[in-house]
Amino acid sequence: MVFRHKHIIALRDLNKEEIELLLSTAESMREINGRDIKKVPTLRGKTIINLFYESSTRTRTSFEIAGKRLSADTVNIAPSNSSATKGETLADTALNLLAMKPDIIVMRHAVSGSHYFLANKVNCSIINAGDGAHEHPSQGLLDMLTIKDKFGRLDGLKVAIVGDITHSRVARSDIQGLTKMGSQIFVAGPPTMVPPGVEKLGNVVACGTMKEAIQDADVIIMLRIQQERQGKTLMPNTREYSRYFGLNPVNLKLAKPDALVMHPGPINRGVEMSSYVVDGPQSHILKQVENGVAVRMAMLYHVCGGGSVE
């Protein structure tokens, strides 16, 4: 099994075998992260640019650590100190960065599909660290790895995704990936936050209430209410949201007793999840973060030097 993609932009572009390869590679990478000397020379001499047009702590740090553990040189560019604030276009920024000969550009951008645009302009690999409301493939992969750790498989599981489905790139990547791996996904959220036709994205059932979605679920993925993205027009207030779509110790009992609770972070405590659940025994949120580094190492490794047929 050889990974044949030069870029990783969306889980939609990958097949089941390729996702399995990335996950099994990530499992091996995790062993490296547990060593005293957490570094292997694999990507020695490669340059990785982390180009983040949107703020991020977790994902950017995770990609940076992943690159460093593989001995690549990583450079971070944040919007506040980049030329974008001076009016440079994405294409011009990319061509300028390209002149410095990076091997991989890891980018986060507010515009959905901007990575496909970029991939046509450059000859290095592009990894999507989140584009608008499209996809966030590394988050999808680390979610799948966390679920696989717990259940040993991904097929035949009932996975609930609750929250703002419309604006969530995490939800899209989870739906694309988990559908390919054979899980069934139940989504729930306020009607203003669930896109019409969400069933067409994959093996998805749209539920009218949160109760329907999490009833007997094996996994519950709670999404962040992205107040910076949609303003305050999609729900009356956070207290009402929390009443109907928040996860608390009471409604958590509807799920299977050993159900896994996940959240892509950062958490709005008391809004989408109560602190009892965040800090409770079923919460695997920090495990997700840990797996994030391993998954990103696997992504960087597999796009590097590959046969690049795409």
Partner 1 sequence: MSQVETLILDQPGINRALTRIAHEILERNKGTDNLVLVGIRTGGDHLARLLRDKIQEIEGKSLPLGIVDVTMYRDDLDSRGPRPVGMTDIAFSLTGEKVILVDEVLFTGRTIRAALDALMDFGRPRNIQLAVLIDRGHRELPIRADYVGRNLPTARDEKILVTFDAAHLPIEVRLVKP
Positions touching partner 1 (CB under 8 A) are: 1-3, 21, 24-25, 27-29, 31-32, 35-37, 39-43, 70, 298, 301-302, 304-307
Question: What distance in Å separates the CA atoms of residue 160 and residue 170, rounded to the nearest whole number?
Answer: 13
Euclidean distance between the first and the last CA atom of the chain, given in angstroms as a whole number: 16
Residue 53: which of 80, 86, 75 has the closest Cα? 80
Q: Considering the complex, what minimum distance in angstroms separates the CB of residue 3 from partner 1? A: 6
Q: Considering the complex, what minimum distance in angstroms separates the CB of residue 27 from partner 1? A: 7
- Choice between 31 and 228, CB closer to partner 1: 31
Q: Considering the complex, what minimum distance in angstroms separates the CB of residue 69 from partner 1? A: 10
Cα-based distances in Å from 147 to 154, 159, 190: 7, 10, 26
- Choice between 94 and 304, CB closer to partner 1: 304
Q: Considering the complex, what minimum distance in angstroms separates the CB of residue 286 from partner 1? A: 22
- Choice between 208 and 307, CB closer to partner 1: 307
Tokens of 172: 């899209």
- Choice between 3 and 52, CB closer to partner 1: 3
Which residue matches tokens 């996860």? 247
* Helix axes 16-33 and 169-181, enclosed angle (nearest 10): 110
Neighbouring CB atoms inside 10 A of 272's CB total 23
The DSSP annotation for 232-271 comes to: TSSSS-HHHHHHHH-B-HHHHTTS-TT-EEE--S---BTT
Q: Considering the complex, what minimum distance in angstroms separates the CB of residue 81 from partner 1? A: 32
- Choice between 1 and 286, CB closer to partner 1: 1
Q: Considering the complex, what minimum distance in angstroms separates the CB of residue 144 from partner 1? A: 17
Question: What distance in Å separates the CA atoms of residue 108 and residue 56, rounded to the nearest whole number?
Answer: 9
Q: Are 42 and 25 in contact (CB under 8 A)?
A: no
Cα-based distances in Å from 109 to 18, 52, 258, 294: 25, 7, 36, 23
- Choice between 21 and 122, CB closer to partner 1: 21
- Choice between 36 and 228, CB closer to partner 1: 36
Q: Considering the complex, what minimum distance in angstroms separates the CB of residue 306 from partner 1? A: 5
